[in-house]
Chains A and B, each alone.
Chain A
Amino acid sequence: MSASTEKKTAAKKSHLADIPLVEWIIGAAGLMIVAVAVGVLVREAVAGDKSPPDVKLTVEAIAPLRNGYLVKVRAENEGGEAAARVAIEVELLNQTQVVEKTETQFEYLPAHSTREAGVFFTGDPREGELRLRALGFEAP
């Protein structure tokens, strides 16, 4: 409109033209990183899984130790909510008889995430059958 406004915009333009291209490139890269982080959260907020914690337990490995055996257990939370202090029980069965029973717990089990733990047995778990069960959890 007026000459002064034109002057102002011209000054603004020249100021912006002075800024090196690399600063805009870094800005764009930063924008992308922030967009990814926020995007993942927004997707989770809009279409995220809201199901309760659902713990799947599997035996990862059995290793003989000096006095007994170590059974490595992997827990996967297939639910959409996080669980804390997930207590688990592992039973060693011989036919239908429970020979030994151990337990341990996972401090945190976020949604769709996995954690590992270990339990000790005196008898060889490879000679029997292992039964794993999640006992309960606390809402974090």
Chain B
Amino acid sequence: MPNAAASNKPPRRERSPTRQFVVGLARAFGGALIFSLPIFMTLEMWHLGFYADRLRLAVLLVVMIPVLVGLSHYSGFEPTFEWREDVVDAFVAYAVGFIAAFVVLALFGELRPGMPWDEIAGKLALQAVPGSVGALLAESQLGIKDEQPEEDVENCTHTGELFLMLVGALFLALSVAPTEEIILIACRISAVQGVALAMVSLIVMHVFVYAMEFRGQASIPEGTPHWSLLVRYTVPGYALALLSSMYLLWTFGRTEGNAPEHLAMATVVLGFPASIGAAAARLMI
């Protein structure tokens, strides 16, 4: 189908590769701003910039590299066909994230001359992570869809689907994980409400997964039984949402000294936005 549509398309204006790259870069900055402004303006994120464990921040930056490479493969500001290009794009996205974070934080007076280097580096590194994901998401949201190598997303494998879910979970959870509200909600609600929240997360995710089936995805043939989709996509997807939630709570130092039941509660609370992000990732990318 995409091939037939492609052949009917009117011829596009020829653009030089440099111009294409510059336009892509501008979009990337736009994406970094649109997707990350809420988190650029979050008090806890500024504080975490200086008190978050340095080693955990470094781990987060490294963990995000393969995530960005994979995301660039499925989306990204340049149509990529090769892994080497994806790696380059991932680092360009990181650079965009860092620069966008620097400009915005400097404008807000969160970065001032005379601040210790350690604090500046911490704040930038932390904010660059959501910024870089936003930069890569920009293309699929702000770009012209026709320029995308659509086969990439359409013929997504099972692993690819789960990977996109992981990216969506990390991205949405990242924007709320540092806030105090996660801990507050986890302290406030009862275990029964926690279980209900987990069930609602699963149901919402499954609705998204099921809706995807109707789009006739290659990886999910029509007529696949419900329970098969549930076990192969929804449940592992929710498990990924929970794992990425727990990972982010650990990164931001929210796991220390907590009883298992409180940790499970905080994970399920953060797992709610994470699961929505995971479920919606497929529609966004």
Contact = CB atoms under 8 A, between A and B. Distances in A.
A3 interface: no
Given A24-B231, A27-B236, A38-B195, A108 B264 contact: no
Nearest to A27: B231
Contact of A16 (B194, B198, B228, B260): B228
A56 interface: no
Contacts of B237: 30
Interface string A4-38: 00000000100110011011101111111110011
Contacts of B257: 113-116
Given A111-B261, A113-B257, A33 B243 contact: yes
Contacts of B188: 82, 140
A27 B221 CA distance: 18
Interface string A21-60: 0111011111111100110111111001000000000000
A34 B223 contact: no
A75 B238 CA distance: 34
Contacts of B260: 40
Contacts of B271: 37
- Which applies to chain B's interface (DSSP): helix, strand, loop or mixed? helix
A42 B195 CA distance: 7
Contacts of A44: 191, 194, 261, 264-265
A107 B194 CA distance: 22
A122 B116 CA distance: 28
A112 interface: yes
Contacts of A114: 257
B132 interface: no
Shortest 4 CB-CB contacts between residues of A and residues of B = A30-B236, A30-B239, A45-B191, A112-B259
16 contacts: A12-B223, A19-B232, A26-B162, A28-B231, A31-B231, A33-B243, A34-B239, A34-B242, A37-B271, A41-B265, A42-B195, A44-B261, A48-B261, A111-B262, A112-B261, A116-B257
Contact of A111 (B162, B238, B259): B259
Contacts of A108: 183-184, 187
Residue of A41, A116, A140 contacting most chain B CB atoms (<10 Å): A41
A34 B237 CA distance: 10
A97 B158 CA distance: 71
B115 interface: no
A32 B236 CA distance: 9
B238 A34 contact: yes
Given A30-B239, A44-B265, A84-B187, 5 more contacts: A26-B236, A30-B236, A33-B242, A34-B202, A45-B195
Contacts of B225: 12, 16
Residue of B186, B221, B231 contacting most chain A CB atoms (<10 Å): B231
A128 interface: no
Contacts of A40: 260-261, 264
Interface string B125-146: 0000000000000000000000
Given A19-B228, A110-B262, A111-B261, A45 B192 contact: yes
B187 A110 contact: yes
Interface string B167-206: 0000000000000100110111011101100100010000
Contact of B187 (A28, A82, A115): A82
Contact of B268 (A19, A41, A110): A41
Given A37-B198, A42-B191, A140 B236 contact: no
A115 B256 CA distance: 8
Contacts of B235: 27, 30-31, 34
A136 to B, nearest CB: 16
Nearest to B190: A45
A2 to B, nearest CB: 18
